[in-house]
């Protein structure tokens, strides 16, 4: 490197002093005589001027995200409002119905890649949105030329490095906003937080890409000029940049599905630690240049307010979970919560079990398997929420083991409710609703079925409902029956139920053939998997508006999505019989 390290003054300051909120956008004291008039013009023009790069690149990135969220909000709220007005069934699909069908198709359609160990893509709409994000980032990154200054006097930072640095900063508040549980973007777009996780991941990847393109031009240039060692020792931007890039690389590498899903607890704890180091290092790295810190304040506001809200809300909802172990790897949990706790059928909560040395540090999402009681609140000021858990390998296994040893009362904090608050009431406008559940996914569909039957008077007069559930073994009947009990108190009209047992032979029951069983609550009982494609096709064979609501394992959800997407495409192409095919598939991992 041709430099004696002894001559260097090590610079390990975190920030330059004096600290200010931002630096000026004016170029002062620059010697224009050393560059040509064209070069002078270039470095003062839009998208080339270092002193306005925050406005040109970071702010432009912000505008792009705001516009995309605005379009999504307009579509989601617009179609909701228009559907409310046109709830009357039509015998033929209108042009509006066909437009909605094609848009709905994009939100339903997913693909499975068996070669990658059954990898399921996000829905087409998310792929399009991510594609748009990618094209936008590439255009802004590679559009303005040159990438390097032809004359080093024009500036220290290569233009491609400057712009990508600012683009990273512009992406940051959105990347964080997509991740939170109480979520401003979800509120604006009338959706639920878990559906935005895919955007959190992909915007993080784009931010990483722009961060790398920001870093390498400096390294290449410094190595070529023999300045690397010197700059590393004396320029704080170098080591604060590396201090940010290392945790950022970790965050990306550890978030791949197979690591995240296999070691979720470890992933989550490390994610928060690495993210905190990353944000702190990046904060120092940008060093209040131009308006860089404004983006940190925005991020803090977006994340901090919802975090405080969540913590306060969860702290105000302590409780005791009463755990019972049922057959078929199932746990049933009852938690007493204050009467002020309000939820809608189909919503979920995050439960923090104050139990064991590590479990208290994370909370887990579970669907509320019961519906709110009707009538006056009880005098004790408390009500019950119920959860049905499939025992797996982490907290659920630990709870199962503890219950087996007699520890059935566990202190908890309940954070929520979360999820699509309007789903239960939205379903009331449909002529036919098909519920499809795989295993414990029924804890999501049962409350929605009960809610629908309770609100029979708000539905079209001849509305019908079909409820299909697939379970591995007959042991599941115990909890299914328990959760469906409220249906016994209702006068159910037009409800057809069928239960499929897939890994055990049971005696089949077909009420249409006059079979009956005194203690059954499940309609027909069949061996083998339900044929999802056939069920969806049958649903769409008659005129009217239909809805499919599903929850189950990945393969189950994939088949439901594919079957519904095919019907929506037919409708969009003018070949459909039903005038609307609505789909809601509840995610259970992200």
Ligand X SMILES: Cc1cc2nc3c(=O)[nH]c(=O)nc-3n(C[C@H](O)[C@H](O)[C@H](O)COP(=O)(O)OP(=O)(O)OC[C@H]3O[C@@H](n4cnc5c(N)ncnc54)[C@H](O)[C@@H]3O)c2cc1C
Asked if 261 and 211 touch (Cβ cutoff 8 Å), the reply is: no
Burial bucket for residue 27 (CB in 10 Å: 0-12, 13-18, 19+): middle
Q: Which does 92 bind (CB under 5 to 8 A by kind): ligand NAP, ligand X, none?
A: none
Nearest in space to 385 (alpha carbons), one of 397, 373, 403? 373
Residue number with CB closer to ligand X (54 or 194): 194
- From 210-218, 223-231, 355-363, 436-444, give the range in contact with ligand NAP by CB under 6 A: 436-444
Residue number with CB closer to ligand X (154 or 391): 391
Q: Considering only the C-alpha atoms of the chain, give the largest distance between any 2 of them, rounded to a whole number of Å.
A: 98
What's the closest the beta carbon of residue 172 comes to ligand NAP, in angstroms?
29
- From 2-10, 53-61, 548-556, 563-571, give the range in contact with ligand NAP by CB under 6 A: 548-556
What's the closest the beta carbon of residue 570 comes to ligand X, in angstroms?
30
- From 20-28, 237-245, 391-399, 577-585, give the range in contact with ligand X by CB under 6 A: 391-399
Residue 417, SS3 per DSSP = strand
Q: Which does 173 bind (CB under 5 to 8 A by kind): ligand X, ligand NAP, none?
A: none
Q: Which does 97 bind (CB under 5 to 8 A by kind): ligand X, ligand NAP, none?
A: none
Cα–Cα distance, 296 to 307 (Å, whole number): 16
Cβ contacts of 435 within 8 Å, gap of 6 or more: 445, 448, 449, 465, 466, 467, 468, 469, 549, 550
Q: Which of residues 505-544 bind ligand NAP (CB under 6 A)?
A: 529-530, 532
Q: Which of residues 567-586 bind ligand NAP (CB under 6 A)?
A: 586
Asked if 458 and 489 touch (Cβ cutoff 8 Å), the reply is: no
Binding mask 252-281 for ligand NAP (x = CB under 6 A): ------------------------------
Which residues sit opposite 13 in a β-bridge? none
Output the residue with the shortest Cβ distance to ligand NAP.
439
Residue number with CB closer to ligand NAP (94 or 118): 118
Per-residue burial over 103-124, b = 16 or more CB atoms within 10 Å of its CB, e = otherwise: ebbbbbbbeeeeeeeeebebbb
Kindly state whether residue 314 participates in binding ligand X, applying the rule CB under 6 A. Answer: no
Kindly state whether residue 397 participates in binding ligand X, applying the rule CB under 6 A. Answer: yes
Residue 141, SS3 per DSSP = helix
Asked if 155 and 43 touch (Cβ cutoff 8 Å), the reply is: yes
Cα atoms found within 13 Å of the Cα of residue 420, Cβ hemisphere only: 22
Q: Which does 530 bind (CB under 5 to 8 A by kind): ligand X, ligand NAP, none?
A: ligand NAP
User: Residue from 362, 425, 478, 492 that binds ligand X (CB under 6 A)?
Assistant: 362
Strands 348-353 and 364-367: antiparallel
Residue 432, SS3 per DSSP = strand
What's the closest the beta carbon of residue 391 comes to ligand X, in angstroms?
7
What's the closest the beta carbon of residue 390 comes to ligand X, in angstroms?
4
Q: Which of residues 361-390 bind ligand NAP (CB under 6 A)?
A: 367, 390
Residue 179, SS3 per DSSP = coil
- Can you spell out the DSSP letters for 64-133? HHHHHHHHHHHHHHHHHHHHHHT-S--SS--HHHHHHHHHHHHHH---EEGGGTSEEPPPHHHHHHHHHH
Cβ count near 67 (within 10 Å):
11
Tell me the number of residues near ligand NAP by CB under 6 A. Answer: 26
Residue number with CB closer to ligand NAP (44 or 587): 587
- From 134-142, 433-441, 517-525, 567-575, give the range in contact with ligand NAP by CB under 6 A: 433-441
What's the closest the beta carbon of residue 446 comes to ligand NAP, in angstroms?
10
Cβ contacts of 416 within 8 Å, gap of 6 or more: 343, 347, 348, 349, 350, 368
- From 91-99, 102-110, 310-318, 364-372, give the range in contact with ligand X by CB under 6 A: 364-372
User: Residue from 83, 214, 332, 364 that binds ligand X (CB under 6 A)?
Assistant: 364
Interface ranges with ligand NAP (CB under 6 A): 348, 367, 390, 438-441, 443-444, 470-472, 502-503, 529-530, 532, 551-553, 555-556, 559, 586-588
Interface ranges with ligand X (CB under 6 A): 194, 261, 264, 348, 362, 364-367, 387-390, 392-397, 440, 443, 587-589
């Amino acid at each position: 490197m041709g430099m004696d390290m002894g001559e260097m003054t090590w610079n390990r300051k975190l920030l330059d002093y004096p600290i200010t909120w931002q630096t000026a956008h004016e170029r002062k004291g620059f010697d224009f005589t050393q560059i040509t008039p064209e070069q002078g013009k270039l470095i003062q023009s839009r998208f080339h001027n270092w002193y306005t790069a925050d406005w040109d690149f970071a702010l432009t990135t912000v505008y792009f995200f705001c516009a995309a969220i605005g379009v999504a909000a307009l579509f989601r709220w617009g179609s909701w409002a228009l559907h409310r007005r046109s709830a009357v069934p039509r015998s033929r699909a209108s042009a509006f119905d066909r437009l909605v069908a094609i848009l709905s198709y994009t939100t339903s359609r997913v693909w499975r890649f068996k070669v990658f160990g059954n990898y399921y893509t996000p829905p087409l709409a998310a792929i399009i949105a991510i594609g748009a994000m990618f094209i936008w980032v590439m255009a802004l990154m590679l559009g303005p030329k040159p990438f390097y200054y032809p004359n080093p006097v024009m500036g220290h930072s290569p233009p491609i490095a400057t712009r990508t640095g600012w683009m990273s900063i512009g992406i940051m508040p959105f990347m964080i906003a997509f991740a939170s549980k109480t979520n401003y973007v979800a509120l604006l777009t009338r959706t639920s937080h878990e559906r935005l996780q895919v955007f959190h991941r992909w915007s993080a990847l784009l931010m990483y890409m722009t961060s790398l393109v920001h870093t390498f031009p400096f390294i290449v240039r410094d190595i070529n000029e023999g300045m690397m060692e010197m700059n590393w020792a004396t320029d704080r931007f170098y080591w604060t940049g590396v201090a940010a890039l290392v945790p950022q690389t970790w965050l990306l590498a550890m978030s791949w599905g197979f690591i995240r899903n296999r070691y979720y607890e470890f992933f989550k704890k490390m994610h928060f630690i690495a993210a905190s180091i990353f944000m702190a290092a990046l904060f120092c790295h940008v060093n209040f240049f131009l308006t860089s810190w404004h983006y940190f304040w925005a991020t803090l506001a977006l994340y901090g307010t919802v975090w405080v809200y969540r913590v306060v809300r969860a702290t105000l909802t302590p409780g005791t979970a009463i755990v019972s172990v049922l057959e078929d790897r199932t746990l049933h949990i009852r938690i007493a919560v204050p009467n002020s706790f309000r939820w809608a059928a189909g919503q979920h909560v995050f439960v923090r079990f104050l139990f064991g040395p590590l479990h208290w540090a994370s909370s887990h999402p579970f669907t509320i398997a019961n519906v709110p009681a009707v009538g006056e609140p009880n005098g004790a000021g408390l009500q019950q929420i119920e959860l049905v858990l499939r025992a797996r390998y982490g907290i659920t296994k630990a709870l199962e083991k503890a219950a087996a040893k007699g520890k059935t009362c566990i202190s908890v904090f309940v954070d929520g409710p979360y999820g699509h608050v309007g789903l239960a009431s939205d379903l009331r406008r449909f002529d036919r609703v098909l519920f499809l559940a795989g295993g414990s996914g029924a804890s999501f569909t049962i409350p929605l079925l009960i809610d629908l039957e309770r609100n029979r008077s708000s539905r079209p007069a001849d509305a019908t409902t079909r409820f299909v559930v697939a379970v591995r073994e007959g042991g599941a009947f115990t909890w299914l029956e328990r959760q469906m009990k409220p249906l016994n108190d209702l006068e159910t009209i037009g409800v057809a139920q069928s239960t499929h047992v897939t890994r055990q032979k049971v005696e089949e029951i077909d009420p249409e053939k006059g079979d009956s069983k005194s203690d059954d609550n499940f309609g027909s009982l069949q061996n083998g998997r339900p044929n999802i494609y056939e069920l969806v096709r049958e649903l769409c064979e008659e005129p009217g508006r239909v809805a499919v609501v599903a929850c189950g394992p990945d393969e189950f959800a994939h088949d439901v999505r594919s079957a519904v997407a095919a019907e929506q495409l037919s409708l969009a192409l003018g070949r459909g019989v039903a005038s609307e095919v609505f789909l809601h598939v509840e995610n259970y991992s992200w």
